[in-house]
Chain A
Amino acid sequence: MALDIESRARFNLKSATILLVETPGVNMDILSQILMGFGAKAMHRCDSAVDARTTIGRTEMDLMVISPFLADECGYELVQWIRREAPDPNKFAPIIMVSPHTEQSKVARARDCGAHFLVAKPLTPAVILERIIWVARSQRPFVSCDTYVGPERRFKFEGPPATGGRRRDDLPETVGEAVEPNMSQDQIDALMAPRKVAI
Chain B
Amino acid sequence: MSEVHYYRPKMKLAKMLREPGGKTVAEAVRDANAGLESISADCMDEVDAFIGRIEATFAALPADFDAEALHGLYKAANGLIGLPGIVGLSELETAAYSLADLTDRMIAAGRFEREAARVHVQALRLLRRPDALGVAGLGEVLAGLAQVRDKFRAMDVQAASD
Contacts and interface: CB of A to CB of B under 8 A. Distances in A.
Contact of B6 (A25, A123, A142): A142
Contacts of A86: none
Give chain B's interface secondary structure class: helix
B33 A125 contact: yes
A142 B8 contact: yes
Contact of A39 (B22, B74, B93, B97): B22
B24 A8 contact: yes
A114 interface: no
Interface in A131-158: 132-133, 135-137, 139, 141-147, 152
Interface in B34-56: 34-36, 38-39, 42-43, 45-46
B80 to A, nearest CB: 8
A7 interface: yes
A33 B45 CA distance: 17
On chain B, which size bracket covers the interface?
35 or more
Contacts of A5: 25-26, 29
Contacts of A123: 82, 86
Most buried by A among B3, B34, B35: B35
A185 interface: no
B33 A100 contact: no
Given A15-B16, A38-B23, A146-B2, A33 B38 contact: yes
Interface in A54-69: 62-63, 69
Interface of B: 2-14, 16-26, 28-36, 38-39, 42-43, 45-46, 74-75, 77-86, 93, 96-97, 100-101, 104
